[in-house]
């Protein structure tokens, strides 16, 4: 997901009460600091210095050619998926520590969005203003589409969470021609009465900008949007996901937003503004940086990403 586009508000600075991510991890994830130390010692994925800019350095996201999109989907087969309207059918979802919990995974964008520019450019109400229904997302310089990445990680997460007993629903599974729009994505989580919702993305920022960040909802009370009740639990969910993401993947927090915490608060995203249940976004890395792209295009790394995000969700739901 690129930071470019109409209606973008720059990432809000973190509240002073929050220290660096590594401090938060010490309380939440005992193994995280050890994982970070190992990462730093071996020169892991986030060691490069970047320009530290945000929207000004983000590049526009080209529409990936249909051939490139199809190729990337077939090169990394994922577990078979249920259709959007069906309940998870895996037997493992019937029992486990997350039995009775509902998790909605929101794979960002749609592999076919670039074929439906008129539809995805339609403006929808996000409470604070109006914004495009959806976007094409970004891609690596070699043409691996963000929408393919998000679906792959979502499938891996679904398998992991169903094994824990959760009922898992995807907002889209490559089973619709475009979208859904950002307001519908929020509505799917709300109507499912989800205990947690996570929207999966990868960024399209400038070369040298590296690392992941988790986007938390800011306090919004405008029009159809009222996030005040979910700000606290979403903050908890996002912090746990960030900690476990570091621990499992060894990836560094973003070097260009979040002041090294890996956490950013925003009020301009309809998927967060319109949510009535705990929800966060995660930008798993920057597709336009060659070193981050090497991770994002690796099936083994995507499995780690799915595990880290899922572990954060499990930690949140189990308290």
Structural domain boundaries in the chain: 21-44+69-76+87-318
- Distance between terminal CA atoms of the chain? 30
pLDDT of residue 5: 38
| Span 156-170, pLDDT tens digits | 999 999 999 999 999
Looking at per-residue pLDDT, the higher value among 82 and 2 belongs to 2
**Average pLDDT, rounded, for the chain:** 80
pLDDT of residue 89: 41
What number of other Cβ atoms are within 10 A of residue 102's Cβ? 20
What pTM was estimated for this model as a whole? 0.76
- CATH number of the structural domain 21-44+69-76+87-318: 3.40.630.40
What number of other Cβ atoms are within 10 A of residue 80's Cβ? 10
Per-residue confidence at 208, pLDDT binned at 50, 70, 90? Answer: very high
| Span 224-267, pLDDT tens digits | 999 999 999 999 999 999 999 999 999 999 999 999 999 999 99
Written as one string, the DSSP assignment of 169-184 is: EES--S-SSS---HHH
Contact 167, 102 (CB under 8 A): yes
Tokens of 186: 């929020």
Q: Coil, helix or strand for 105?
A: strand
Give the list of residues 6+ apart from residue 232 with CB closer than 8 angstroms, or none: none
pLDDT of residue 157: 98
Q: How far apart, in whole angstroms, are the C-alpha atoms of residue 316 and residue 224?
A: 27
Q: How far apart, in whole angstroms, are the C-alpha atoms of residue 173 and residue 191?
A: 18
Looking at per-residue pLDDT, the higher value among 38 and 208 belongs to 208
pLDDT at 152 over 60: yes
Contact 101, 248 (CB under 8 A): no
| Tokens 């301009």 sit on residue | 268
């Amino acid at each position: 997901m690129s930071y470019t586009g109409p209606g973008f508000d720059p990432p809000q600075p973190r509240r002073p009460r929050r220290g660096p991510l590594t401090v938060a991890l010490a309380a939440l994830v005992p193994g995280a600091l050890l994982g970070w130390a190992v990462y730093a010692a071996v020169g892991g994925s986030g060691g490069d210095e970047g320009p530290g800019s945000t929207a000004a350095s983000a590049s526009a996201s080209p529409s990936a050619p249909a051939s490139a999109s199809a190729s990337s989907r077939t090169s990394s087969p994922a577990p078979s998926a249920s259709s959007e309207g069906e309940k998870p059918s895996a037997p493992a979802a019937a029992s486990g520590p997350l039995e009775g919990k509902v998790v909605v995974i929101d794979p960002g964008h749609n592999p076919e969005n670039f074929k439906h520019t008129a539809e995805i450019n339609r403006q929808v109400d996000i409470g604070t203003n109006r914004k495009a229904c959806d976007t094409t997302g970004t891609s690596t310089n070699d043409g691996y589409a963000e929408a393919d990445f998000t679906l792959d990680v979502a499938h891996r997460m679904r398998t992991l969470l169903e094994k824990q007993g959760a009922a898992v629903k995807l907002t889209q599974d490559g089973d619709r021609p475009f979208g859904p729009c950002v307001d519908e994505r929020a509505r799917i989580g709300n109507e499912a009465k989800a205990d947690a919702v996570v929207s999966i993305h990868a960024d399209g920022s400038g070369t040298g900008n590296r690392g992941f960040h988790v986007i938390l909802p800011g306090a919004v009370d405008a029009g159809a949007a009222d996030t005040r009740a979910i700000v606290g639990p979403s903050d908890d969910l996002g912090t746990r996901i960030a900690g476990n993401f570091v621990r499992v993947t060894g990836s560094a927090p973003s070097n260009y937003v979040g002041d090294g915490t890996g956490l950013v608060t925003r009020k301009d995203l309809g998927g967060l503004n319109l949510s009535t249940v705990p929800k966060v976004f995660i930008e798993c890395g920057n597709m336009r940086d060659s070193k981050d792209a090497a991770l994002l295009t690796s099936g083994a790394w995507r499995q780690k990403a799915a595990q880290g995000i899922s572990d954060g969700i499990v930690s949140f739901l189990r308290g």
